[in-house]
Amino acid sequence: MSALFEPLRLRGVTVPNRAWMAPMCQYSAEPAGPAAGVPHDWHFAHYAARAAGGTGLILTEATAVSPEGRISPYDLGLWNDAQTEAFGRITRFLAGQGTVPGIQLAHGGRKASTDRPWKGGEPVGPEAHGWQPLGPSPLAFDERHPVPTELTTEGIAEIVGQFAATAERALAAGFEVAEVHGAHGYLIHEFLSPHSNHRTDAYGGSYENRVRLALEVVDAVRAVWPEDKPVFFRVSATDWLDQGGWTPEETIRLAGDLQAHGVDLLDVSSGGNVKAPIPVGPGYQVPFAARVKAATTLPVAAVGLITGAEQAEKILANGEADAVLLGRELLRNPSWARHAARELGAEVHVPDQYHRSV
């Protein structure tokens, strides 16, 4: 049997294969008004196409737990009934195709309130539906970004509550997996890394203090998420700094802590918290996932320039990861999983309407 097309059971959820879709922001929601943050026809078609293409699990784009948690005004959110109802339309279709619907719960932190990438991605102000970003410390991401407002302990507690409330809405919308976004320089990653976290209270300084927010969010989500459904955590395994940043060794330590707090899989990415040279190449982040898998008992997913069926099969067959997440490759080819199954001599769900193409 192909390792890529072997089912994976996590708690009470069985994912039919291990070719999964990574969260990728579409920057396509309305920026303001009653439809702000609400998924619409573009989002439905986007996710539906990948489900029809055989993808085993789909993680929606970073979905904000509050309006100011959006990375851009055009991002999805899940803080009201209109958003919950619209997400339900998507999850029902995904589940109908045998795809497990998952959601990434996120807060943009100091990197929030930016324009869409194809418009330059610059920070935007109130005149363009923007807002003042929040962060662990009054340190801007770079020279273009504003200095964020430093969160108080009361503000931190409020955000933890927002993650829990959004998880409850995600459950009502039909999601089977909840992923906490702790990577790519957004709020939770900002707290993890000493590069961006200069606090001197219980949320800064030592490793134990810097991971406090991550564990509090996981605890809050796990408390409202059903026991038989899995919780994931996405981490940037390294800041790619020689010193002063988050490290692979800390990632391995965090993996154990997350597992003890009820996390079922670590989604291993890297970077995003500081501008640093990254040696990008095929599968360049897989070694970080492999290190976590070798050092812990927590299942891991690998991501980063995984494009070919044989490449993905080898990662899993070699025991470097338990699943692979595809990003841009699934943008190029929504039916990647179906094509990979054919190449590897495996079987994957094909909609009745598409059987003539098999």
**Residues 6 or more apart whose Cβ sits within 8 Å of residue 306:** 282, 283, 286, 312, 315, 324, 325, 326, 329
Q: How far apart are CA 105 and CA 224, in angstroms?
A: 14
Whether 124 and 101 have beta carbons less than 8 Å apart is answered as no
Q: How far apart are CA 334 and CA 37, in angstroms?
A: 24
Tokens of 205: 């300084």
Instruction: Exactly one of 27, 47, 74, 186 is catalytic; name it.
Output: 186
Tell me, what DSSP letter sits at residue 1?
-
186 is catalytic: yes
- Coil, strand, or helix at residue 103? strand
Whether 141 and 128 have beta carbons less than 8 Å apart is answered as no
Q: How far apart are CA 211 and CA 191, in angstroms?
A: 7
Whether 253 and 284 have beta carbons less than 8 Å apart is answered as no
Phi and psi torsions of 216, nearest 5°: -65, -40
Whether 60 and 76 have beta carbons less than 8 Å apart is answered as yes
Q: Which residues are catalytic?
A: 186
